[in-house]
Structure 1
Amino acid sequence: MNLYSFGKKLVTVVLTPIYRFKVVGRENFPKEGGVLLCANHISLLDPPVVGLTARRPVSFMAKEELFRMPVLKKILPKVRAFPVKRGMSDREALRNGLKILKENNVIGLFPEGTRSKDGELKKGLAGAGFFALRSEAAVVPCAVIGPYKRFKRLKVVYGKPIPMEELRAKRASADEATEVIMSHIQNLIDNHR
């Protein structure tokens, strides 16, 4: 068993009894092909929770600082995470992400770039739009609806893939594509809160 599978089992055993997950729309998650999974970000637990509830293994983009920590720098690559330098255009992270999508795998992003302190969805960064426009991947919106409180239900909602063909055809900007993605995430939050 690889570390990703072991971690998923461990997270299931530890977190499921505490947060009583309700997963909605898992059938919307494509069974094959590249997938760009974009979710809101309300807690440090979002990556394991989204990774646990997704239908396929997810490679998360994580801030570079985490890869400098002694224990995490060994674990993160084994659980499919890859580093990104925040606050600047990180060409290496963009190349890595496109390669993962081209190989028909799943990338998980939190387009806000950081956790929302009040739980409200913030403006998304252009990286999500970049991946959506520069790949043929299905773009799946996801809403984590909390709060994370012991023994309260936590809802994870997967929306239908967002049609990106028109934006790709008209050569929309990465910012425009990100706005579309964020609006889909907000709709999931509004409809399932």
Structure 2
Amino acid sequence: MNLYKFAKNAVAILFFPLYRIKIIGKENVPKEGPVIICSNHISNLDPPVVGITSPRDIHFMAKGELFEKRFLGKLLLGIQAFPVRRGLSDRNALRKGLEILKNGETLGLFPEGTRSKTGEIGKPLAGAGFFALRSDAAIVPCVIIGPYKAFRRLTVIYGEPMDIEHYRKTKVSAKDTAEAIMNEIRILKENHQK
């Protein structure tokens, strides 16, 4: 068993009962081909939660500083994370993300780029739009709802893949495409909080 599978199983055993995780729409994640899962970001625990609830193995970007710590860096690489320098246009990270999609794999993104301190969905950076426009990946919006509190319900919802072919053909900007993705995440949240 590789490190990714081992870590996914170990985290799932701990998190599912602790946060009473409920998954909705798992079937909306395509079984094959390139996929970008775009989620809101409310906690440092979001990547492992999306990781254990997704039916696909996911590659996440993580801030570059984490890879400078030797043990942690090796661990992150072992669980398919790759470094990104925040606040800069990191060409290596962009290339790595496109390579993952070209290989038909799954890229996990938090379009806001940083955690929301209020829990409200914020403004996205252009990154999610860049990957959506430069690949032929299916874009799956995802929303995490609920507090990360022991034995309180945490719900993870996967929406239907977005049709962004129009954005690709009409050369819509990466920023506007990211806004459209974020809006789908917002709608997903509103529809499940009623």
User: TM-score, with normalisation over the residues of structure 1?
Assistant: 0.99
Structure 2 equivalent of residue 6 of structure 1: 6
Equivalent-residue separation in structure 2 for 1:95 and 1:7 (angstroms): 26
1:105-142 C-alpha deviation (Å, 9 max, x unpaired): 00001011111101001100000000000000000000
Partner of 1:43: 43
**Quick one: distance in 2 between partners of 1:25 and 1:69?**
36
Q: Give the aligned length.
A: 193
SS in 2 for 1:71: helix
Structure 2 match to 1:98: 98
Report the CA distance between 1:146 and its aligned residue: 1.4
Letter in 2 for 1:170: T
Distance in 2 of aligned mates of 1:93 and 1:132 = 15
- In structure 2, the residue matched to 1:192 is 192
- 1:79 corresponds in structure 2 to 79
Equivalences for 1:43-192 in 2 at 5 Å?
A: 43-192=43-192
Measured in 1, the distance between the counterparts of 2:69 and 2:119 equals: 27
SS at match of 2:8: helix
Are 2:34 and 1:34 equivalent residues in the alignment? yes
Secondary structure, in 3 states, of the residue corresponding to 2:114?
A: coil
Residue identity in the other structure for 1:98: L
Letter in structure 2 aligned against 1:77: L
CA-to-partner distance for each residue in 1:9-30, whole Å, 9 max, x for gaps? 1001111111011100001000
CA distance in 2, matches of 1:70, 1:19: 30
CA deviation vs aligned residue, 1:144-190 (integer Å, no higher than 9, x gap): 00111110110000000110100000001000100100000001111
Question: Equivalents in 2 of 1:71, 1:20: separation in Å?
Answer: 30
Partners of 2:10 and 2:183 in 1: CA distance: 33
Moved >3 Å (runs of 4+): none
Report the counterpart of residue 15 of structure 2 in structure 1: 15
Alpha-carbon distance in 2 for matches of 1:111, 1:47: 13
Q: TM-score, normalised by structure 2?
A: 0.98
- Aligned partners of 2:69 and 2:190: how far apart in 1? 37
Q: CA deviation at 1:68?
A: 1.0
Measure, in 1, the Cα distance between the counterparts of 2:124 and 2:69.
27
Structure 1: gaps of 5 or more residues: none
- Percent identity between the two aligned chains: 58
AA aligned opposite 1:153: R
Q: Which amino acid aligns with 2:45?
A: L
